[in-house]
A and B are shown apart, each in its own frame.
Chain A
Amino acid sequence: MLRTQSRSVDAAASKPRSLLRDMRGAAAIELALTLPVFLALAIGTLKFGVAMSQYLTLNNAAAQGAMAFALSRGTTTPYATTTTAITSAAPNLASGSVTKTLRVSGTACTTDSACQTALVAGATASVTVSYPCDLTVLGVSFKSNCTLSSTAAQMIQ
């Protein structure tokens, strides 16, 4: 066994050109070279697709939230109504990670009573919804602290 190996090594050393011509395993090496790139592309496409889908959902949730917020003047629970509308408009997102910011004419309100007082007919109600996104492909983060965010506004009725 040992003898056979050393003999073939000797043969290869004595014929360097034949080693260069040896095509065995070339496909494997080429595969090894191209696979990471393909994999990166495939995973990247997947991750980007997921993020895009989440962004579309966020867009929709923000619009629904703004609508609910603008229509909840005169009710006692505008904040709860709006946040519930956002959560139900984004069933595919982890509701705990969805950050919701409600603003009336640019000033944020975070409780039912504060929002109730702030809601005035004709003013602008806006809702910003944010969600963390993951654009890490094969250990490389293409955007650190990536956050998807969408804002929608409605006139308070």
Chain B
Amino acid sequence: MKHSIFSALRSLRDFWRHQQAGSTLVMAASVMSGVVAVAGLSIDVGRAYAAKRALGGQTQAAALAGAYALAQANSTSGTVSTAVSNWTSANPVSGVTISGTPTPTLSCNASTSGLPTCSGTNPNVVSFTQSGTVPTYFLKAVGVSSMTVSATASAAKAGGTIKPFNIMFVLDATGSMSSTDSGCTVPGISSPSRWQCALYSIQSILKVMPTAQDGTALMIFPGLSSQYSPGSGCSTSSEPGSAHYYATTVKYQIGTTFDNTYNDGSGNLSTSSPMVRAVGIFKTSSSTSPCLTNKGGQGSYAAEVITKAQATLAATTNNATNVIIFLSDGDYNATQTNLSGQSSKVANQCAQAVTAAQTATAAGTQVFSVAYGASTSSSSSCGSDSPTHISACTTMQTIASSSSKFYSTDSICSSTNAFSSLPSVFQAISSALTSQTKPRLLTQ
């Protein structure tokens, strides 16, 4: 036996020693089959990796589509499942055969900060897992006809507040705000004035803003001759008179702080809040009268109040997103006397307001501009702007940080956010602020 093995090895050795012709070809053929096998393996594995990435992307998209459905009113696990399966069937992953019928699961994630509040019956997270097979080309030769890939994604619905807001309302309190706004309905007041409608709009936004997150403050122009912080026993006579723009004593802000006590969390305004005292509570019965009036009497000039609003916001230290909601008719025409004799401020008052707002935007503040009865005629508004004539409407449009932050109440001064009444405008701004959070993917 031993002998025969040795003799076989010897004859093999002799073969290699003497029969070298074609040995390279034999070796090449054997090596090549190995190389082809490795190349084939890498092709199949590479395809599987590509499919896994594509499946991962589609799974994330499906989870986000589910999160979108979850954020809709009256959403159920059924509506979310439908949204996810509609999405996956409309956007299949090419080359992957999905196994079974994957369905999303809903859960409540209270441990990640910034997500919407949740409970067992009110979930805030959609998780979705799917697996599928990718057919192989070369590995079939060794009996592997397909490879399995899987992907999981979780997405939280929108609505959580990632960053709080400091909101500065800047209201035009000039005499022109006394004119009646026939398009506005205010409970308890028949034919309300523009001023009353503006106050009511602020009340409605204060009702729904989360006090835990958002601080609010109010400035009016023209400013008042001394600091006004209305208390419970306010009367119109307790309100200081208006002061010249750029007067050393002028106070634009009502109160001195950002207020976060304006509602009780259930949609009711708190009468103890300084903000609520200033703007009042308009109801069909037992209204609380506002402490503020639109005194006017100083012409109209906005550049200084916008600059002061930005300075006040910039001085906050709570790392919140700064927002100015600026409501005006956009027509600025103060006299030199109104401007405390500052001759350099008399010309181009609309352009000055725009520059002040653009400075605020450049500093990171979101400036929302609400054109309230703004004229589109550059000859009958913004009379001090020369040689560049701009209209009040254009002024309001360019005061906004972007076109999406420009709102208007009439079709004359039109915007992409045109609403029939001022309260609707403020509701839209409120939802624009809260919808700045989007659904987000979570770690597994």
Spell out A's residues near B (CB within 8 Å): 23, 26-27, 30-31, 33-34, 37-38, 41, 44-45, 48-49, 52, 55-56, 59-60, 62-63, 66-67, 70-71, 74-76, 121-122, 124, 126, 150, 152-155, 157
Contact = CB atoms under 8 A, between A and B. Distances in A.
Contacts of B158: 157
A67 B65 CA distance: 12
Contacts of A152: 54, 57-58, 61
B68 to A, nearest CB: 5
Contacts of A60: 53, 57
A26 B20 contact: yes
Return the 10 tightest CB-CB contacts between A and B, nearest first: A63-B57, A30-B24, A155-B65, A34-B28, A52-B46, A153-B91, A59-B53, A154-B61, A157-B438, A152-B57
B32 A38 contact: yes
B21 A59 contact: no
Contacts of B21: 23, 26
Contacts of A70: 61, 64
A45 B87 CA distance: 37
Interface stretch (B35-43, B164-172, B173-181, B244-252): B35-43
Interface string B166-199: 0000000000000000000000000000000000
Interface string B65-84: 10010000000000000000
Given A154-B64, A157-B158, A55 B28 contact: no
A48 B43 contact: yes
A75 B56 CA distance: 27
Nearest to A58: B50
A34 B404 contact: no
6 contacts: A30-B22, A30-B24, A75-B402, A76-B402, A76-B403, A154-B61
B24 A34 contact: yes
B36 A38 contact: no
Given A26-B21, A59-B57, A74-B404, A45 B32 contact: no
A138 B382 CA distance: 74
A14 B323 CA distance: 105
B290 interface: no
Contact of A52 (B50, B90, B402): B50
A122 B24 contact: no
Given A34-B28, A152-B57, A41 B50 contact: no
Interface residues of B, number: 38
A59 B35 contact: no
A155 B68 contact: yes
B28 A157 contact: no
B137 interface: no
Contacts of A37: 28, 32
B86 to A, nearest CB: 10
Contacts of B65: 154-155
Contact of A23 (B20, B36, B42, B403): B20
B24 A41 contact: no
B391 interface: no
Contacts of A45: 35, 39, 42
B65 to A, nearest CB: 4
A44 B39 CA distance: 9
B60 interface: yes
B25 A33 contact: yes
Interface string B12-50: 000000001111110010001001100100110011011
B439 A157 contact: yes
Nearest to B26: A30
B312 to A, nearest CB: 27
A143 B338 CA distance: 78
Contacts of A59: 50, 53-54, 57
A28 B46 CA distance: 36
A62 B57 contact: yes
A131 to B, nearest CB: 14
Chain A CB within 10 Å — which of B49, B65, B87, B432 has the most?
B65
Contacts of A124: 90-91
Nearest to B39: A45
B375 to A, nearest CB: 26
B366 to A, nearest CB: 12
Nearest to A76: B402
A41 B36 contact: yes
A126 B61 CA distance: 11
A124 to B, nearest CB: 7
